Amino acid sequence: MIITRAPFRVSFCGGGSDLPSFYEQYGGCVLGTTIRKYMYITIQNYFFRDRIMLKYSQTEEVTSYDEIEHRICKQCLKDFDLMGVEITSIADIPAGTGLGSSSSFTVALLQLLHTYKGEYISKYDLAKEACDVEINRLGNPIGKQDQFAAAFGGLNYYDFMPNGTVNVEPIIMSGDSYNKLENNILMFYLGGTHSASAILKEQSSNVKAVDKAEVQLKMCDITKVLKSELQKNNVDAMGELLHENWMLKKTLASGITNPLIDETYELAMKAGATGGKLLGAGGAGFMIFYVPENKQADVRKALSHLREMDFNMDNSGASIIHIDRDYA
């Protein structure tokens, strides 16, 4: 058996500028981190060598690639020309909650299949291949930040170049600043799931309009300021910049926010948060808030009807966490 894992991500600023419709014209940038919540995928030889067994939220046993319902598995197994395998996935967090789970799955699966075939792949090539599968081959109207975050891990600034290349720059801070950032981010689960594709499709279309593109450019400027402030160890700048970014992001597509999200944001801000945002494309899932330590009890009380999740940053990225000697 081989086991790989890829982390989920939290995007702070710049989301949407990683869409081809935007970065191919203007260039884009995102600042975000991965967290210690993961997608795990295992592979082992299946007893029936002419079949494939897949176990995720449902179970599939097939005798040909065309029978596979899971679109990512179908594409990747067909590309790798693999039969006679059993693949199982387990996630720490449900899909559709704004943490990039689909891309974490793709990254972990690709690393698993390369490892199974005895092939090494770099983190950059892993992210690039995951983008090719999801965006080009499957036609999903999504950006590139999720795949690069899952592959590289850590707190990074991502530069999306018009020619399609991506520069990944770690944010360097003192240990105290890193701990302060981790301690002052509170994360709450609103419930529900969303289809990122539908919202991102509208957003991608909208940024072709001049006024929407200007909003996205302002979000990129905020992202660059955040990068600079964090590298100066000014962690408290996170709150105000998250707030500015969220006010702009809400205007990019109709499904990004709703009354529950707006009410939750207002409650948190009145209780002492200095900024926050919904994670992912919009509509449901998780929200984060930057809250000074002396206000955290008040914010937790104001949002006591919601489930809080510990916020711990990951530095490992995509990893092979187990491999039997039979597969080495």
pLDDT digits (tens, 9 = 90+) for 287-304: 999 999 999 999 999 999
Give yes or no for a contact between 41 and 88, defined as CB atoms under 8 angstroms apart: yes
Q: Which residue has the tokens 């400027």?
A: 221
What is the reported pTM? Answer: 0.91
Q: How many Cα atoms are found within 13 Å in the side-chain-facing hemisphere of 184?
A: 24
Give yes or no for a contact between 31 and 128, defined as CB atoms under 8 angstroms apart: no
Amino acid letter, residue 309 = M
Indicate the range of 26-35, 171-180, 219-228, 249-258 predicted with least confidence.
249-258
Mean pLDDT to the nearest integer, 59-70:
96
Read off the pLDDT of residues 29-47 as tens digits, 9 standing for 90 and up.
999 999 999 999 999 999 9
Amino acid letter, residue 164 = G
Altogether, the residues listed in the chain come to a count of 328
Asked if pLDDT for residue 197 goes beyond 70, the answer is: no
Confidence (pLDDT) at 196: 44
pLDDT band at 23 (very low <50, low <70, confident <90, very high): very high
Give yes or no for a contact between 186 and 299, defined as CB atoms under 8 angstroms apart: yes
Confidence (pLDDT) at 97: 80
Confidence (pLDDT) at 209: 52
pLDDT band at 203 (very low <50, low <70, confident <90, very high): very low
d(Cα 220, Cα 243) in Å, to the nearest integer? 14
Confidence (pLDDT) at 61: 97
Give yes or no for a contact between 186 and 308, defined as CB atoms under 8 angstroms apart: yes
Q: Which residues contact 244 (CB under 8 A, 6 or more apart)?
A: 222, 275
Q: What does the radius of gyration of the chain's CA atoms come to, in whole angstroms? A: 20
Asked if pLDDT for residue 255 goes beyond 90, the answer is: no
d(Cα 27, Cα 160) in Å, to the nearest integer? 6
Q: Above pLDDT 70, what percent of the chain?
A: 92
